[in-house]
Amino acid sequence: MKLTVVGTGYVGLVTGTCFADLGNEVICVDIDEEKINALNEGRIPIYEPGLEEMVRRNAAAGRLDFTTDLGDVVEKSEIIIIAVGTPSLPSGEADLSAVRAVAATIGRHLNTPDKIIINKSTVPVGTGEMVTEIIKRESGGSNPFHVVSNPEFLREGSAISDSMEPDRVVIGSNDPYAAEKVASLYRVMTKNIIITDRLSAEMIKYTSNALLATKISFINEIANICDLVGADVEAVADAAGMDHRLCRHFLNAGVGYGGSCFPKDTKALIDTAAQFGYDFKVLNAVEEVNAQQPKRALAKLNNLVGDLEGKIIALWGLAFKPNTDDMREAPSLVIIEGILSQGGKVRAFDPIAHETAVVEIKKHGLEVSFANTMYDACDGADALMIVTEWNQFKDADLARVKGLLKEPVIVDGRNIYNPADVVGLGFAYESMGRTSFARPRNNG
């Protein structure tokens, strides 16, 4: 098929590239001319494992192209996929200005009947109807068209495998022809295709992310109680996760969730509920817990090292999760701000997110020094704090770390180490919701 994908962020670029890899003719569109020029030169504006090679391969094969001219490619395409950003407004409501602008341009260039417009952006319930009305108004109603909801369920760091081997595909359409046409795109990938009405499909996306965010905040609450009573949250989560009704995934205590999806989507669902006069108490609590979790990690740091005035804290990890350079809503930003507010200094290392971190940290008005390696970050620091669970941190030479730090202190915000092992090396060690050791058992 001839496809247009509007937006070259994580969702748009990965979606377009994967559809091209399956043999479709795909043109990705973005208003950012600099980004489009970079993509046409084979340079990828985001970090996603395997994506750069896949983009270059499909571009070389003539199946994938990039442009800023949306009107031209709308006229040439059978299916137009809207994958633009929908960031949170100060109210928590999703900002649909980009979706509206794209819908208007599509309407003005609707030159043949039965084109299919797919909403893949994460949008509130009812957006499909809004897009339909905008396209009707701009096109004059001369050509019939179909608007379908097809939410994405991609995880940053695993987006290609999630695209090519999805656990389910949701298609929301009030028209059987359009639903079947979109389903045919996915049948080569999976048999797990759910076809429903458009409103339900829009609700499914928010429900999925809200449930995952809830699991994270719930296990963090359990971790906080475990700290108080002396229990081990890892043992609790392992046993609870063996229940097939609960599942172990996302029951990982830590410093909270971040990224472009969970914070934004929980806010948007709370706002949608409020518009209909409903107070979503559970999600409000989920947000509150998540906002407090990085601060609990800071309290653990204070418990081990006391006043942070003039002290250097080595920070391992800046991105909100491993295998991405995404700094949006990253817990590291809250932790850095907390350390600096106490007069401390931060020396940070992240294997991938350095460049995006520089921009995001500057945007927040914070000052951080960056180390070239994880060991350089520790050299002469008063403590080490782990914020992102990159694999290389799990495999670190802790004896070397101990020799580099002024004092052998670790705050493990992602529970990547065994407490007994770390304390056995002579560290003062705190983690999230596991038996805490404020003093080493020996001097190493």
3-state SS of the chain?
A: CEEEEECCCHHHHHHHHHHHHCCCEEEEECCCHHHHHHHHCCCCCCCCCCHHHHHHHHHHCCCEEEECCHHHHHHHCCEEEECCCCCECCCCCECCHHHHHHHHHHHHCCCCCCEEEEECCCCCCCHHHHHHHHHHHHHCCCCCEEEEECCCCCCCCCHHHHHHCCCCEEEECCCHHHHHHHHHHHCCCCCCEEEECHHHHHHHHHHHHHHHHHHHHHHHHHHHHHHHHCCCHHHHHHHHHCCCCCCCCCCCCCCCCCCCCHHHHHHHHHHHHHHCCCCCHHHHHHHHHHHHHHHHHHHHHHHHHCCCCCCEEEEECCCCCCCCCCCCCCHHHHHHHHHHHCCCEEEEECCCCHHHHHHHHHHCCCCCEECCCHHHHHCCCCEEEECCCCHHHHCCCHHHHHHHCCCCEEEECCCCCCHHHHHHCCCEEEECCCCCECCCCCCC
Is the distance from CB of 235 to CB of 222 less than 8 angstroms? no
**Cα(227)–Cα(225) distance, rounded to whole angstroms?**
5
Residue whose token pair is 């909270």 = 256
Angle, nearest 10°, between helix axes 331-341 and 354-363?
Answer: 60
Q: How far apart are CA 16 and CA 27, in angstroms?
A: 7
- From the list 18, 28, 226, 261, the catalytic residue is 261
Contact 320, 259 (CB under 8 A): yes
**261 catalytic residue (yes or no):** yes
* CB of 330 closer than 8 Å to CB of 258: yes
The residues carrying an active-site annotation are 261
